[in-house]
Structures are given as structure tokens and as C-alpha cells.
């Protein structure tokens, strides 16, 4: 049995969950995302992986209703990275940033019974370290950074 759940999208726009052997809705796919289920969505007409398109559709629905997560300014900034030389670096930076944020949220939930001040202080210190490392990686990837762990440019010999 595969560890990745397969959802098929038919030409009639219906989504079929192969694990449950039934049709599902975008709300069901959103629930899978929220549960952390690893899945992919395949277009039955050509077997193309359309997972990203489905996830973007879910995001669009979320942004259209209620309180949006992204401001117009933020979306415009993201769009400006498409096709640029730093597109891949930016994508990796965002992904790592979100991973760090999610891990810290989990840590906060797990340790909240301890002294809240100590927990927040530790997380803040670790957050500063992680962001500094991400910044160094971004600058190195852009050809602008210093050595791996050094904020200062190398000294000429």
C-alpha cells in the first residue's frame, strides 16, 4: 500500500478518493490538508499531477471568504518573484520559514504547561538564530553573502 493517498479528478470536475472509494469535495481535500495527510491529485485525462492547482483553488476559496491571510501588497510582492533569478531561492526561503513557524507552533503547544515566559524566551532566541541562518543562505544563494557561519565578509589576504 502506498503511503501517499491518490485522489483522481475526472473531466466532470469531480474528485474521487481512491482510498475511500468515493467522491469527495474540495472541503474534504482541505480536511486532508488540515489532518496532515500526504496526497496527490491526478487528472484522469492525462495522469498529470494537479495537486498544486487543487491546493491553490482551496487557498482561493479561503481567501475569498472570511479574513484573508494574504494582503494585496503581499501577493503583488510574491508575483514579482516569478521568472526572476531568485524565484527558486525565494520559494525555498518561504517553505523553510513556514516549516520553522509550524514547528515552533507545535513546540509551543507541547510546552505551554511550563513557564510561559521561559518557553517564549527560548523560542524567540531560537527563532532569531534560524532567521539569521535563512538570511545567510538566501544571501549566499544570491551570490551576495559571506561565509557559511560568518556575518562578516572574508578578509583579504
21 is a domain residue: yes
Q: Which of 64, 87, 110 is the last residue of a domain?
A: 64
How deeply is 20 buried, as exposed, middle or buried, from its count of CB atoms within 10 A (0-12, 13-18, 19+)?
exposed
Same-domain check for residues 76 and 137: yes
Task: List the domain range (segments joined by +) for residue 32.
Answer: 5-64
Average pLDDT, the chain: 85
Same-domain check for residues 17 and 76: no
Q: Which of 17, 44, 64 is the last residue of a domain?
A: 64
Comparing 71 with 154, the larger pLDDT belongs to: 71
Q: Mean pLDDT over residues 48-77, rounded?
A: 93
Query: Minimal CA–CA distance to 61: which of 19, 30, 94, 98?
Result: 30
Least confident of 27-36, 102-111, 138-147: 138-147
Which H or E element spans position 28? helix 26-35
Which H or E element spans position 138? helix 116-141
The rounded distance, in Å, linking the Cα atoms of 77 and 121 is: 31
The rounded distance, in Å, linking the Cα atoms of 145 and 150 is: 9
Q: What pLDDT was estimated at residue 116?
A: 66
Same-domain check for residues 77 and 53: no
Q: What pLDDT was estimated at residue 2?
A: 53
Q: What pLDDT was estimated at residue 73?
A: 95
Q: What pLDDT was estimated at residue 157?
A: 44
Q: Mean pLDDT over residues 63-82, rounded?
A: 91
Same-domain check for residues 39 and 82: no
Q: What pLDDT was estimated at residue 145?
A: 65
Which residue is listed with cell 495527510?
37
Same-domain check for residues 49 and 89: no
The rounded distance, in Å, linking the Cα atoms of 138 and 90 is: 8
Q: Which of 17, 40, 64 is the last residue of a domain?
A: 64
Amino acid at each position: 500500500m502506498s503511503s501517499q493517498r491518490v485522489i483522481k479528478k475526472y473531466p466532470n470536475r469531480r474528485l474521487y478518493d481512491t482510498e475511500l472509494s468515493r467522491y469527495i469535495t474540495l472541503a474534504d481535500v482541505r480536511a486532508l490538508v488540515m489532518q496532515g495527510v500526504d496526497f496527490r491529485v491526478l487528472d484522469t485525462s492525462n495522469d498529470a499531477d494537479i495537486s498544486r492547482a487543487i491546493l491553490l483553488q482551496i487557498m482561493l476559496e479561503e481567501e475569498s471568504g472570511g479574513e484573508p491571510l494574504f494582503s494585496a501588497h503581499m501577493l503583488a510582492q510574491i508575483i514579482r518573484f516569478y521568472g526572476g533569478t531568485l524565484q527558486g531561492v525565494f520559494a525555498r526561503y518561504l517553505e523553510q520559514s513556514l516549516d520553522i513557524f509550524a514547528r515552533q507552533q507545535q513546540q509551543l503547544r507541547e510546552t505551554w504547561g511550563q513557564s510561559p515566559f521561559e518557553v517564549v524566551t527560548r523560542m524567540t532566541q531560537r527563532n532569531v538564530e534560524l532567521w539569521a541562518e535563512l538570511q545567510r543562505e538566501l544571501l549566499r544563494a544570491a551570490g551576495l553573502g559571506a561565509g557559511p557561519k560568518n556575518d562578516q565578509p572574508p578578509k583579504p589576504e
